[in-house]
Amino acid sequence: MKVVAKIGSSSLTTVTGEIDHTAVAKLCSEVADLRADDHHVVVVTSAAISAGLGPLGYGPGKRPKDAGLLRAASAVGQIALMATYKGHLANNGLMAGQVLLAPTDLWHRNRYLKSRGTLEALLARGVVPVINENDAVADDEIRFGDNDRLAALVAHLIDADCLVLLTDTAGVFTGDPRHDADASLIEEIVEIDQQLELAAGGPGSVSGRGGMASKLAAAKIAAWSGVETTIAQSDRPKVLREAVEGVAGVGTVFRPRAQRLPARKLWIAFALPPSGRIVVDEGAREALENNQRSLLPAGVTGAEGSFQAEEAVELVDQSGTVFAKGLSRWCRADLDTYRGLQSSALPREIAEEVIHRDDLVMLP
């Protein structure tokens, strides 16, 4: 079985922002336990930025806003973080292999194949890949956004059987357990709906970018990849083994969907924030849903937002229901000018398709 285990900054650092060696040692021990049963495990780790802030003079709760300083902190903290993993994995007879990924490594076909080949080569030789986003040189406009999404895309990349998101809470609850004494753990979720996403809220700690909302987004990506996901508490004894074996109550389990999306469409559907909306008529919606057509200007009736070409947009029908998402080949200004026209009436410099079918994802 292939397992992707992601652990967040709040679970890997102390209250003073330093790397928690006890937490890393526990995780590495549990990875070794799975490896002993011939499971292949990939670790996606956060905490590089947190680990680098202290050495650069930023104490607890003093996270700078300057992007350059955060990238510098990542460069400093990454060394300490990987050295910690290397040491604790070695204590368990395992070798660590550092892999830093950028979104383009999973978006462009050639780099996607190379990334997968690297991970497969490491796993075949018994190495534990320890993955992080390449924050030191990350483009603020093109990034995973958080390591939960990165972990879900890695799970798709290696055809994982199981994704485990380790955090400082026991899973998804019916309410916020910090404020609601009657909140209870939801042990299984078959479909992530809008109500659940709204209830998830924002980031849960000052040390990370994630939170339950990002974990739900990751679980949705994984579900569309055919990968089962478990959100569980990182300090729970034997949490990785229990998640892999499906022990009841280990956390919240998200069941995979039967339909599997390719990596690029996963990225479009779930990793890129929409910059606007395009409103289409019923004929266009039917052609997109039932005939796998591209979106042409003749079917467009309106638009919202000031999006540019190659940015992600949602598609909505006449009732305002979002049913698809894609990369628009047109900017908002061109759409306002030429919407409703037949393709033959367009200027030569304008693309015939507003959204090409290869850049379009139908949403549940």
Q: Where are the domains of the chain?
A: 2-265, 272-362
**pLDDT above 50 for 207:** no
Neighbours of 146 (CB within 10 A): 24
Q: Where are the alpha helices (DSSP H) in 185-293?
A: 194-200, 212-224, 239-245, 263-266, 282-291
Average pLDDT over residues 262-278: 83
- C-beta separation of 3 from 34 below 8 A: yes
174-202 pLDDT per residue, tens? 877 777 878 888 999 988 777 776 666 54
**Greatest alpha-carbon span in the chain:** 69
Distances from the Cα of 360 to the Cαs of 61, 126, 204, 233, 266, in angstroms? Answer: 41, 38, 32, 36, 10
Q: Where are the alpha helices (DSSP H) in 13-146?
A: 21-35, 48-53, 67-91, 103-107, 109-124
23-58 pLDDT per residue, tens? 999 999 999 999 999 999 999 999 999 999 999 988
d(CA 188, CA 255) in angstroms, rounded, equals 8
Average pLDDT over residues 3-22: 92
The two three-digit tokens of residue 216, written as one number:
């739900």
Of the candidate ranges 119-128, 156-165, 200-209, 247-256, the one whose mean pLDDT is the lowest: 200-209
The two three-digit tokens of residue 106, written as one number:
């999973």
% of the chain at pLDDT higher than 70: 93
Average pLDDT over residues 216-226: 88
Q: CA torsion, points 128, 134, 135, 141, in degrees to nearest 10?
A: -140
Which pLDDT score is estimated for 309? 94
166-203 burial, b at 16+ Cβ within 10 Å, e below that, comes to bbebbbbbeeeeeeeeeeeeeeebeebeeeeeebbeee
Side chain identity at 285, as an amino acid letter? Answer: R
Which pLDDT score is estimated for 271? 67
Average pLDDT over residues 227-245: 96
- C-beta separation of 212 from 171 below 8 A: no
Domain 272-362 classification at class level: mainly beta
Average pLDDT over residues 156-160: 92
Q: Hey, is 96 helix, strand or coil?
A: strand
307-328 pLDDT per residue, tens? 999 999 999 999 999 999 999 9
Which pLDDT score is estimated for 208? 43
Which pLDDT score is estimated for 200? 60
**pLDDT above 60 for 224:** yes
Which pLDDT score is estimated for 40? 97
Domain 2-265 classification at class level: alpha beta
Which pLDDT score is estimated for 35? 97
The whole model's pTM is what?
A: 0.81
Q: Which residue's structure tokens are 């075949």?
A: 124
Neighbours of 130 (CB within 10 A): 23
